[in-house]
Amino acid sequence: MKNNLFNLKRETMFDLFVSTSAACSKNITRAYSTSFSLGIQTLHKKLHAPIYAIYGMVRYADEIVDTFHGYDKKYLLQKFKADTYEAIRDKISLNPVLFSFQKAVNDYNIPLPLIEAFFNSMEMDLYETAHGRESYNEYIYGSAEVVGLMCLKVFAEGDEHLYNKLESSARALGAAFQKVNFLRDMKSDFDERGRVYFPGIDFTNFKEEAKQQIEQEVAEDFEKAYQGIMQLPASSRGGVLLAYKYYMRLFREIRRVPVSRIKEARIRVADFQKLVLLVETLAGQQFKKWLTAEGWNYGGLSTQH
């Protein structure tokens, strides 16, 4: 009886470690991205922890290369990468962010090549300040598309057919988000880090024609992504759709302003607008549930985009 109580206590304490580690990744997400946090809230609850875990890991890696000035960024990133792989291999880490991430990787069979591509792009940020088309595509894939694929692994919940079917759409969504971020942060990337991600673009001589070409590329990514979003399971569709709507709103704002504004300030979506998008998305999902319960076929319905 005593041994049984000891084992119960040990399991309970480990569960506490699991939950507090998950809470750490959740807090990171909420602190760094209100829009991403809102999107996660509309996912099924069972998906919250693994998506927070993915965001927590990639956010910290990104912070190493972007903001850890005065420290040896190369060493810190290499150590973080090694610690990540060790956590995945051993299925344990005393770093709560990496413990949560390894759990998501192992629970949902996230392929290691996706993680390798991500770290490769983070390493590029240590020495690349301008890109040609080839390195740009490589960077976009590793920094954004693979994050979409990691999340898709969670959303598919082991359904490999669904994952393969939606893989290209998930990549397109990640690429669209990243390119919008590049446009939004163009001034700070150049002023603070000397970076210009778009190939062949000189920030000091950024013209309207170049902006429009980039916007056309982004619009095509969004169109491809939308088709995949509407085929996601109900457990994840609402949350991904909300993130899509937020970035589409931000993209519209960017398209509306001239190049001079992009070069002077960071374009934002107001918090109250984010809340409006949240309410609209939740209301739309509830309406579709009602239609289903009433026996209506809403397959032809889609949210305006």
Query: Which tokens in the block code for residue 27?
Result: 């807090």
What is the pLDDT confidence band of residue 271, given thresholds at 50, 70 and 90? Answer: low
Q: Pick the closest to residue 148 from 107, 179, 125, 191 (CA basis).
A: 179
- Whole-structure pTM value: 0.86
Reported as a single tens digit per residue, the pLDDT across 122-169 is 999 999 888 999 999 999 999 999 999 999 999 999 999 999 999 999
- Chain CA centroid to CA 285, Å: 22
Residues 28, 55 contacting (CB under 8 angstroms): yes
pLDDT at 287: 38
Rounded to the nearest 5°, which phi and psi values hold at 196? -135, 110
- Chain CA centroid to CA 214, Å: 20
What is the pLDDT confidence band of residue 275, given thresholds at 50, 70 and 90? Answer: low
Q: Pick the closest to residue 267 from 279, 244, 281, 249 (CA basis).
A: 249
Reported as a single tens digit per residue, the pLDDT across 15-67 is 999 999 999 999 999 999 877 888 898 899 999 999 999 999 999 999 999 99
Q: Above pLDDT 90, what percent of the chain?
A: 67
pLDDT at 194: 87
What gap in Å lies between CA 100 and CA 151, rounded to an integer?
14
CB count within 10 Å of CB 62 equals 17
Domains of the chain as residue ranges with CATH? 21-293 (1.10.600.10)
Residue 291: HSE in the Cβ half-sphere, 13 Å Cα cutoff: 12
What does each C-alpha distance from 292 to 52, 229, 288 come to in angstroms?
A: 30, 19, 6
pLDDT at 37: 84
Examine the pLDDT at 209 and tell me if it is beyond 50.
yes
